[in-house]
Amino acid sequence: MESDEKKLINGCVKKDKKAQRQLYELYKVSLFRICLRYAKDRPEAEDILQDGFVKIMADIHQYRGEGALGGWMRRVMVNTALQHIRKQNRQGYTVEITEIADTHQADEVILSDLRAKALTQLIQKLPPGYRAVFNMYVIEGFSHKEIAEQMEVTESTSKSQLSKAKAMLRKMLERNLVG
């Protein structure tokens, strides 16, 4: 298996179209799931996936074989999604959000009761910044310090956006359950 992966990587480094297609087919589903969590809809996720694979193919020579190839590709895809969100924010994308009280106890119940697909659909409804922070903290396991560095915001902004994202998800879930 390991030698097959090395052959595949070497083929991609040499710009072999067959190897590139094979790598794409091997990882597209798992990487698309990541893109869906950061995007507002499927077309946007497809754009992020395409941009991410362009970067992966351009930078595959930088993969040193330390850690799993899938992990390296996942990091590239997350960074691509974050760049996409930053680009949206620079283009003046704004959403007005009312302050919603945060009750920590409900967080665990909400997240444990939702199936992955339903949660993804709700996450996609979050504003881009909230969506990114929620994904990075809750799903990807980043610290607020790492999120702040990646998104070029303060740690307190990261914490605030996470709190607001959870509150918005809770509100959306309540609306879905009630009516």
pLDDT digits (tens, 9 = 90+) for 83-109: 888 777 655 443 333 333 344 444 544
Helix or strand (DSSP H, E) at 48? helix 42-59
Q: Report the distance separating Cα 17 and Cα 110, nearest Å.
A: 44
- Specify which of 49-58, 107-116, 166-175 reaches the highest per-range mean pLDDT: 49-58
Mean pLDDT confidence for 20-46: 91
First to last CA, the chain: 50
Residue 19 predicted with pLDDT over 60: yes
Residue 1 predicted with pLDDT over 70: no
Domains of the chain by residue range: 2-90, 104-178
Q: Provide the CA 3 distance to its chain's centre, in angstroms.
A: 30
Task: Provide CB contacts within 8 A for 96, sequence distance 6+.
Answer: none
The CATH number corresponding to 104-178 among 1.10.10.10, 1.10.260.40, 1.25.40.10, 2.30.110.10 equals 1.10.10.10
Q: Which residue has the higher pLDDT, 108 or 44?
A: 44
The two structure tokens encoding residue 5 = 């992966």
DSSP state of 61: G
DSSP state of 67: S
Query: Given this model, what pLDDT does residue 93 score?
Result: 41
Question: Which residue spans within the chain are E strands per DSSP?
Answer: none
Three-state DSSP class for residue 156: helix
Sign of CA dihedral 93, 99, 100, 101: positive
Q: Report the distance separating Cα 158 and Cα 150, nearest Å.
A: 11
Q: Report the distance separating Cα 72 and Cα 43, nearest Å.
A: 24
Mean pLDDT confidence for 140-147: 89
The CATH number corresponding to 2-90 among 2.40.30.160, 3.30.465.10, 3.40.50.1010, 1.10.1740.10 equals 1.10.1740.10
